[in-house]
Amino acid sequence: TPDEIERLFKAINETKLMRPPTDCLSPIGEEAIIAGLQKELEADFCTAVTRPPAVYRGNPFQVEAGLAYIRHGEENSPAIEEPVRVMRFANRVPLLYMAGACAITKAIINVNWKNYRLQQPRDSLPLGPVVIMVHLASVWVPFTSESKEAIAHYPEIIREIMFCLQECGRRLAVFLNKRRREAEVARKRSYIAMYIPHLALGLKEVLNLSDREESRLKNSLEKLLGNPAGKTE
Q: Are 121 and 213 in a shared domain?
A: no
The pLDDT score that the predictor gives to residue 212 is 82
The verdict on residue 230 lying in a domain is: no
The verdict on residue 124 lying in a domain is: yes
The verdict on residue 28 lying in a domain is: yes
Q: Are 91 and 166 in a shared domain?
A: yes
pTM (predicted TM-score): 0.75
The verdict on residue 204 lying in a domain is: yes
Q: Are 155 and 77 in a shared domain?
A: yes
Which residues make Cβ contacts (< 8 Å) with residue 28, sequence separation at least 6?
A: 50, 64, 89, 92, 135, 137
The verdict on residue 8 lying in a domain is: no
For residue 156, give the 3-state DSSP assignment.
helix
The verdict on residue 6 lying in a domain is: no
Q: Are 97 and 145 in a shared domain?
A: yes
The verdict on residue 55 lying in a domain is: yes
Q: What pairs with residue 119 in β-bridges?
A: 127
User: Pick from 104, 110, 62, 101: which is nearest to 85 by CA?
Assistant: 104
Residue 76 region by backbone torsions, left for phi larger than 0, else alpha for psi between -120 and 50, else beta: left
In terms of C-beta density within 10 A (0-12 exposed, 13-18 middle, 19 or more buried), how is residue 46 classed? buried
- Domain range spanning residue 69? 15-181
233 residues of the chain, pLDDT tens digit each:
788 888 888 887 787 766 666 678 889 999 999 999 999 888 899 999 999 999 888 889 999 999 999 876 555 556 678 899 999 999 999 999 999 999 999 999 999 999 999 999 998 999 999 999 999 999 999 999 988 999 999 999 999 999 999 999 999 999 999 988 888 877 877 777 777 787 777 877 888 878 888 788 778 877 777 654 444 44
Q: How many domains does the chain have?
A: 2
Which CATH number fits the domain that encloses residue 116?
Answer: 3.30.230.10
Q: Are 120 and 216 in a shared domain?
A: no
Run of H or E including 120: none
User: Pick from 63, 67, 88: which is nearest to 158 by CA?
Assistant: 63
